[in-house]
Structure 1
Amino acid sequence: MGVQPTKAIRDKITPHPGELNDDDGTSNKLNWLRAGVLGANDGIVSVAGTIIGVAGAESNPRSLLVAGVAALAAGAFSMAGGEYVSVSAQRDTERALLTKERWELTNLPAEELNELAQIYETKGMTASTATQAAAEAMNHDALRAHAIDELQIDPDDLTNPWSAAFSSFVSFLVGGIIPLLFSLIPVAFLMRIVLIVVSVALALFITGAVSAKIGGAARRKAVLRNVLMGLGTMLFAWLVGLLFGIHA
């Protein structure tokens, strides 16, 4: 059962008006885009917070550059490494669950059929309809049916740790480079700090708006929350810098 999948009656889903078709991986693309925006947001806030914190401690432009580069490099690699480890663990779990499911489908087919039928019953089907639906789904592709409906895993699209790590690395760099570049503008020290704060606020405005657009949330609330959080981070870092500042 399910070893040689039968041909599906329908190859693709026709969406109703206003609905996106996910056959081209739309939801996955949106998830990666959302992760990229959040990574850029982390880069903006982390690097800006580090630079502003150092600025509160001493008014040396070179120190800002060193702090910004260090925060950018460490943050990007830390994000990438953390994402790789996390997604690798998730992928290992997915593979283990699929291996277990294959064994159960081979050795306990009746129990698996009953299990899938019960899952369909919880979705509102009658017992007879659920049993028929489960039998047809397993006859088509038993592993896929159980993976999706029981495990919530797409066996043809497992998580990719390298892709996740690279995405996090690049998005953090893209976000973190913004405050770093503004810290290099050859103007008076105080004006340089003002430019960093303004650039960060504008960048967070954009990432907040994009995040709201992707998630379908209220844009004004998301933008305000994002900008205030970033400004609050920089203010806190500045105060810590002042507290432990170096005074000649």
Structure 2
Amino acid sequence: MSKPTRESLAHEHHPEAIRRRLNTAETPRTLPDAILGGIDGCVTTFAVVSGAFGAGFSSTVALVLGVANLLADGFSMAISNFEAIQAEREYIEDVSRSERRHIDLVPEGEREEIRQIFQRKGFSGETLERVVETLTQNREVWVETMLKEEHGLQPAGLSPWRSALATFLAFMTVGAMPLIPYAFHGMGATRQFAASLAIAALMFFLIGMGKSLVYHRPILRSGLRTLLMGGAAAGLAFATGHLAQLLFGIDI
């Protein structure tokens, strides 16, 4: 990705541009949820396909197992993500209530916490006291500062429903891709698996590339890294299925 020019940076740091950026409400970040859901969906379904092919199961069995895992795991992952974000929100609310109570009961102690936090950042003397006085004049700013600086919590941008939906949709969409060849029964098991392998590899690579564009990382490196991680999971599933065939004498 090309580096921004001095002119573009100057434009972005104009007082009015900064004001608009800071006044824009922070929206929930769903991209990490979508990336996680997409990768996990593709890994899950292709792992099932690989395991079924390695064990010698028919394409119909592979398709049924893949669809069943796609629905069950996609729903489970979305619910788990919902519960995780909801638990984090509830924890932040509990800490916020606790800080408000501390401000009511021991305001000087809470001011001292603010003082020491900013003292560690390099403030001292009259400047430090002005910072403490300014922050503690507004109760909401005071509480928000304590949440971020003392507890390392970011209360903004948490939406359980949005995160769960993003995870589920990405899981279902990307996860369904490796199953497409198995809907065509005339291809033969080997060709179906090869096509599924190619599609899964493409999905992993595209997810990695998309991630790199958003987070400003080298495109090729990110794509290959995601491809290797997904391929490792699929290879493990294939080896497990093949080993199960040898150990238990599965013969389809």
Please state how far the C-alpha of 1:200 moved relative to its aligned partner.
0.6
The corresponding residue for 1:239 is 239
In the alignment, the residues of structure 2 paired with residue 158 and residue 209 of structure 1 have an alpha-carbon distance, to the nearest angstrom, of: 25
Give the RMSD, CA atoms, in angstroms. 2.4
Q: Is the CA contact 1:182–1:199 (under 8 Å) kept in the aligned structure 2? A: no
For the 8 Å contact 1:113–1:131, the answer to whether it is kept is no
CA-to-aligned-CA distance 1:146-187 (integer Å, 9 cap, x gap): 2333333455x3633333222222221122111122322341
Identify the residue that residue 179 of structure 2 maps to in structure 1: 180
Cross-structure match for 2:95: 97
CA distance in 2, matches of 1:191, 1:22: 54
| CA–CA distance in structure 2, aligned partners of residues 90 and 236 of structure 1 | 33
Change (3 A) 1:219 1:23: farther
Equivalent position amino acid for 2:159 in 1: N
1:3-37 superposed Cα distances (whole Å, 9 cap, x missing partner): xxxxxxxxxxx9527999354356x55x4212211
Amino acid at match of 1:33: L
Q: Which amino acid aligns with 1:247?
A: D
> Superposed, which structure 2 residues align to 1:1-248 within 5 Å?
15-16=12-13, 21=21, 23-25=23-25, 28-29=27-28, 31-140=29-138, 141-155=141-155, 157=156, 159-186=158-185, 187-245=187-245, 246-248=250-252
Tell me how far apart the structure 1 counterparts of residues 173 and 154 of structure 2 sit (CA, whole Å). 31
How has the CA–CA distance of structure 1 residues 205 and 23 changed in structure 2, closer, same or farther, with 3 Å as cutoff? farther
Q: Give the secondary structure class of the aligned counterpart of 2:68.
A: helix
**Distance in 2 (alpha carbons) for counterparts of 1:213 and 1:42:** 20
1:126 and 1:22 map into 2 onto residues whose CA distance is: 27
> 3-state SS of the aligned residue for 2:30?
helix
CA distance in 2, matches of 1:25, 1:35: 20
Which amino acid in 1 is paired with 2:100?
A: R
Return structure 1 stretches of 4+ with deviation > 4 angstroms: 17-20
- Residues in 1 aligned to 2:192 and 2:57: alpha-carbon distance in whole angstroms: 11
The amino acid that maps onto 2:93 is R
Structure with the higher fraction of residues in helix conformation:
2
SS at match of 1:75: helix
Q: Give TM-score scaled by structure 2 length.
A: 0.82
TM-score by length of 1: 0.83
Report the AA paired with residue 143 of structure 1: V
SS in 2 for 1:244: helix
Number of residue pairs matched by the alignment: 232
Distance 1:16 1:235, change over 3 A: same
State how far apart, in whole Å, the 2-side matches of 1:22 and 1:40 are.
31
Change (3 A) 1:228 1:153: closer
CA 1:196–1:24 in 2, change beyond 3 Å: closer, same or farther? Answer: farther
Contact in 1 for aligned 2:60/2:182 (Cα 8 Å)? no
Q: How much identity, in percent, do the aligned residues show?
A: 24
